A and B are shown apart, each in its own frame.
Chain A
Amino acid sequence: MARYTLSRLGQLILVLVGVSIVVFFTMHVLPGDVATLLLGERATEAQLTQLRHQLGLDQPVWLQYLQFAAQAVRGELGVSLRSNHAALADVWTAFPVTFQLALTSLILATGIGVPLGVLAGTKPNGWLDNIVLTATLFGVSMPIFWLGLMLLLLFGAWLEWLPIGGLMPTGVDVPRITGMTVLDSLIAGRADLLWISLRYLTLPAVALASIPLAMITRITRSEMLATASLDHVRTARAKGMPERLVIVRHILRNALIPVVTVIGLQLGLLLSGAVLTETIFALPGLGRLMVDSILSRDYPVVQAGALFIAFVFVLVNLLVDLCYALLDPRIRRA
């Protein structure tokens, strides 16, 4: 198991190198000039040349990349052209917002999706199964921006049950420790702040959870169905095992293996793909930071953000694979 983990960590480095190359060169192929952007349309050619020299933009691209890579290894990913903060610091500030949102959505999606899939899968073509199949079809096909707006309209604007956006109301601050409002409220021991932060988190988390919820429900259902017809399930029944135990120990346990993969992939996607949700609900997360930085050609932040997302994605996948090995003894020796 230790060797397996080590070899997977080695792969992580390779992926990061690959991502850094792709991100770096993509940014350089894009039209638009940083110097003009920074100094404005009226800057003289001499000023532009000087700035380009200062930023190292007049050197060959491959040399720029090597310099970038050498700095990146030391953890220096440049300074944001907009905020003048270290690029990684901007990413690091935004990440907890996204992480809290993604994790909450995933907990919702898994906590509802797996039991729902189990119930639907143990009685295929029953009334619950039909409802679940129809509802999840809606879930996967509903555009997230539309669902988000509808939720906002219904619960935020008309019913006024929940706030319509933002992380916390203006003027209310949670003492920042992790950057995740819910967790920080808990650490501070403030029930009032916890309640507020949860209210602010609800709508975006529900909106973001819709697609993973539908996918997890569907995959759980189909895996339950496929596993239920396997020979070892008949063996379990032949032992005289009550049906409920057969379902939990011999169907669900085996069916969970592919479900865990999907859950892991979804977490990776949620972490990198919460852009729409963060925009609709005005959350200062990683997705919004990336979009804003791309639009303003803030190379260092885009690069730092992309590398960071790739790092998290690969790390999550590694964790999933380790879970996989725990769930399926056949993989441990491979």
Chain B
Amino acid sequence: MNGKLLDVRDLRVEFATAGAVVPAVAGVSFSVAPGETLVIVGESGSGKSVTSLAIMGLVPRPPGRIAGGQIMFRSRDGQVRDLARTDRRTMQQLRGAEIAMIFQEPMSALNPVYTIGAQISETLLLHEKLSRRAARAKSIEMLTLLGIPDPARRYDAYPHQLSGGMRQRAMIAMALSCRPSLLIADEPTTALDVTVQAQILDLIRRLQAELGMAVVFITHNLGVAAEIADRILVMYAGQAVETGSARAIFQNTRMPYTAGLLHSVPRLGWDRDAAPLQAIPGNVPNLADLPPGCAFGPRCTHMQPSVCGVAQTLEICGPDHAVRCALWREIGP
């Protein structure tokens, strides 16, 4: 493990649909060091959310199943386990306590019939030997940490009585209440207003430093990735297509797909006439019917059938930088 907290090797997740087995994640490898932030970037259907659910052991089964690979995780007691093969009881003990997750929709991700306080306390009571009163005190402490005004009163509020930003803070309070060493954040800012987005990102960054936890952050927005990433993994059609340090990805973009994502992010003060916003032509391919060779080929402006028509491998293209594109030398950053 070389001091890594999480080491995912050649992860494969399949979904059985009517008539076909869809490889939602087709051999993805990455690792996360303690305290590090890995951002997984991709469009919907790229397999980024399924990857995160696989780490949590929450791939819905059936129709989904982990078809191969390893998810090595070092827990607090120093033991290294393969989460893909860990029994249910142990997974339940790890979930919420050592690996926590926050979701995209803070409204639907919270149970509408319980107060947010009860939902935070619930996590604490599951994993720590606490009295109800102690759990309440600790929950209020978490709400305070998350910058929720009047936390003692908000403890007794129902989700529908809070704004979207407040709900997401409550959600984060819940996830972090047991001080996990790994936080998985699945598009936690996508459903929020832009101003609230920035606040939540700041908050995650601050708490990460304070609690010393690693974060796997999932987003389709490279702008968000630029804000918080130490390392970036770009996924396309269930595979990693470019991976490396945030600096390498942004300064030496090699993969035409990553470049396409970068060009499709509007920037403040950008000159509409000089550089019009570019959309990537076409759509994400159907995973049950992938083109031979490079999955991005049909949408790629550099596509050369003779070179791109065969299966591509992830090649080292620089220090801490790898790309799945046979043409990376010619295209250049």
Show the binding face of A for B, using Cβ within 8 Å: 230-232, 234-243, 249-250, 253-254, 257, 327-330
Contacts and interface: CB of A to CB of B under 8 A. Distances in A.
B112 A239 contact: no
B113 A329 contact: yes
A238 B100 contact: yes
Q: Which of A237, A242, A253 has the most chain B CB atoms inside 10 A of its CB? A: A237
Nearest to A231: B108
The 10 closest A-B pairs by CB, nearest first: A240-B96, A240-B95, A239-B96, A231-B108, A232-B111, A238-B101, A329-B158, A240-B92, A239-B123, A231-B109
B127 interface: yes
B95 A239 contact: yes
B105 A327 contact: no
Contact of A236 (B93, B108, B111, B171): B111
Contacts of B203: none
A236 B113 CA distance: 13
Contacts of B95: 237-240
Interface in B151-206: 158, 160, 171, 174-175
Interface string B99-128: 011010100111111010000001100110
B58 A234 contact: yes
Contacts of A230: 108
A329 B122 contact: no
B160 to A, nearest CB: 5
B158 A330 contact: yes
A24 B287 CA distance: 68
A238 B158 contact: no
A253 B122 CA distance: 15
B161 to A, nearest CB: 8
A231 B160 contact: no
A76 B110 CA distance: 54
- Size range of the chain B interface in the assembly: 20 to 34
Q: Which of B91, B101, B109, B175 has the most chain A CB atoms inside 10 A of its CB? A: B109
A237 B175 CA distance: 12
A231 B106 CA distance: 9
B213 interface: no
A231 B105 contact: yes
B248 interface: no
B158 A234 contact: no
Given A235-B174, A240-B93, 9 more contacts: A231-B108, A232-B111, A234-B103, A238-B56, A240-B92, A240-B127, A242-B92, A329-B113, A329-B158
B97 interface: yes
Contacts, number: 71
22 contacts: A230-B108, A231-B103, A231-B108, A232-B109, A232-B110, A232-B112, A234-B109, A235-B110, A235-B174, A237-B58, A238-B56, A238-B58, A238-B100, A238-B101, A239-B95, A239-B174, A240-B95, A242-B92, A254-B113, A257-B113, A329-B158, A330-B112
A234 B175 CA distance: 13
B94 interface: yes
B108 A238 contact: no
Given A329-B158, A330-B158, A235 B112 contact: no
A240 B126 contact: yes
B103 A241 contact: no
Contacts of B92: 240-242
Contacts of B110: 232, 235
B113 A235 contact: no
A253 B112 CA distance: 11
B39 to A, nearest CB: 20
A329 to B, nearest CB: 5
A250 B110 CA distance: 10
Interface in B52-111: 56, 58, 88, 91-97, 100-101, 103, 105, 108-111
Contacts of A234: 58, 103, 109
Contacts of A231: 103, 105, 108-109
Given A231-B105, A239-B174, A254 B111 contact: yes
A238 B57 CA distance: 9
Nearest to B115: A329
B107 to A, nearest CB: 9
Nearest to B107: A231
Q: Which of A232, A236, A243, A253 has the most chain B CB atoms inside 10 A of its CB? A: A232
Contacts of B108: 230-232
A250 B94 contact: no
Interface string B41-58: 000000000000000101
A250 B126 CA distance: 14
Contacts of B171: 235
A239 B113 contact: no
B244 to A, nearest CB: 29
Contacts of B111: 232, 235-236, 250, 253-254
A253 B58 contact: no
Contacts of B88: 243
Q: Which of A242, A249, A250, A329 has the most chain B CB atoms inside 10 A of its CB? A: A329
Contact of A330 (B58, B109, B160, B174): B160
A234 B171 CA distance: 13
Contacts of A330: 112, 158, 160
A104 B165 CA distance: 49
Given A237-B58, A241-B92, A241-B122, A254 B112 contact: yes
Contacts of A254: 111-113
